[in-house]
């Protein structure tokens, strides 16, 4: 199967909380999820070719297999920040559905990841689909949370097979949230992936009326996949953890 490989350099701190984290307690994943990567590619397609191309771009992106090679090092810093959230209402206020809801300050836990080295993404599939996504890969500038910026290092490369050292994410139709059959050394992460039931109407933010009618449900449109990143913890202290990639490990 042919593959196309794009290599990106992180240019800012990365942050993308676990899918089952709360708004006030959010540990960050170390790398972008398949869901976030595919959404970034769809965003680039719509920005360059217009919303009319969104449906066909969505189908092409959905058909691709996805693999990832994480950066050489990941340094995680944890901190507490002040955030605003809606104030609690009494029963009478809830009945009135007051649009001018008050906000209150609270403390939230956050993690930010400094990634040292390149993030390599590989997409496998039909040559026509790969040819279509190649220009979109050039337009991607962030993954996950806005502000987690990346810079494409070189034009995407073609490959006849997936190179060694890449983590090949399970196909969405085979993802059931269970653990992998093999357990190589590394760090277990739970990531989100597009489900087979996901449609373009459900992710199309430009059609507000249709967006309200379409819901993304866990286990159907959004799947949880357990993967093992080729990372080892080499140093840790209060508020900091440093991970290093296994150079010789391949998935």
What does the pLDDT look like over 8-55, one tens digit per residue?
Answer: 999 999 999 888 777 778 789 999 999 999 999 999 999 999 999 999
Q: Which of 2, 223, 29 is nearest to 145 (CA)?
A: 29
Three-class HEC string of 130-194: HHHHHHHHCCCCECCCCCCEEEECCCCEEECCCCCCCEECCCHHHCCCCCCCCCCCCEEEEEEEE
Q: What is the mean pLDDT of residues 107-116?
A: 92
Neighbours of 234 (CB within 10 A): 10
- Summarised one tens digit per residue, pLDDT across range 48-105 is 999 999 999 999 999 999 999 999 999 999 988 888 888 876 655 555 555 666 888 8
Angle of CA points 145, 151, 152, to nearest 5°: 120
According to the model, what pLDDT value does residue 57 have? 96
Q: Is the pLDDT of residue 134 over 70?
A: yes
Neighbours of 41 (CB within 10 A): 24
Domains for the chain: give ranges and CATH numbers.
Answer: 3-245 (3.30.70)
CA distance 192 to 166: 18
Q: Is the pLDDT of residue 250 over 90?
A: no
- What percentage of the chain exceeds 90 in pLDDT? 58
Provide the mean pLDDT of the chain: 86
According to the model, what pLDDT value does residue 178 have? 56
Sort strands 73-86 and 240-245 into parallel, antiparallel or unpaired.
antiparallel
More confident residue, 167 or 25: 167
pTM of structure:
0.85
Residue 47, token pair as written in the block: 């920005």
Q: Is the pLDDT of residue 118 over 90?
A: yes
Which residues does residue 183 pair with via DSSP β-bridges, in sequence order?
A: none
Q: Is the pLDDT of residue 248 over 70?
A: no
Which region among 26-40, 114-128, 194-208 has the lowest average model confidence (pLDDT)? 194-208
According to the model, what pLDDT value does residue 62 have? 95
**Residue position matching structure tokens 């008050």:** 102
Neighbours of 34 (CB within 10 A): 23
According to the model, what pLDDT value does residue 139 have? 95
């Amino acid at each position: 199967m042919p593959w196309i490989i794009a290599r990106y350099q992180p240019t800012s701190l990365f942050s993308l909380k676990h899918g089952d984290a709360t708004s006030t307690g959010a540990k960050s994943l170390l790398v972008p999820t398949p869901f976030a990567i595919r959404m970034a590619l769809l965003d680039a397609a719509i920005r360059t070719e217009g919303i009319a191309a969104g449906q066909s771009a969505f189908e092409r992106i959905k058909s691709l297999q996805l693999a990832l090679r994480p950066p050489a090092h990941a340094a995680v810093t944890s901190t507490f920040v002040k955030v605003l959230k809606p104030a609690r209402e009494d029963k009478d206020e809830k009945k009135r559905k007051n649009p001018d809801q008050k906000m209150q300050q609270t403390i939230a836990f956050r993690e930010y990841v400094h990634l040292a080295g390149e993030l390599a993404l590989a997409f496998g599939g039909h040559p026509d689909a790969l040819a279509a996504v190649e220009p979109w890969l050039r337009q991607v500038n962030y993954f996950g949370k806005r502000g987690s910026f990346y810079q494409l290092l070189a034009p995407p490369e073609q490959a006849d097979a997936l190179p060694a050292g890449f983590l090949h994410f399970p196909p969405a139709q085979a993802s059931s949230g269970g653990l992998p059959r093999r357990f190589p050394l590394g760090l277990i992460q739970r990531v989100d992936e597009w489900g087979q039931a996901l449609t373009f109407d459900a992710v199309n933010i430009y059609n507000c009326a249709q967006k309200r009618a379409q819901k993304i449900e866990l286990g159907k449109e959004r799947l949880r996949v357990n993967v093992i990143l080729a990372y080892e913890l080499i140093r840790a202290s209060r508020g900091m953890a440093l991970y290093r990639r296994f150079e010789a490990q391949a998935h």
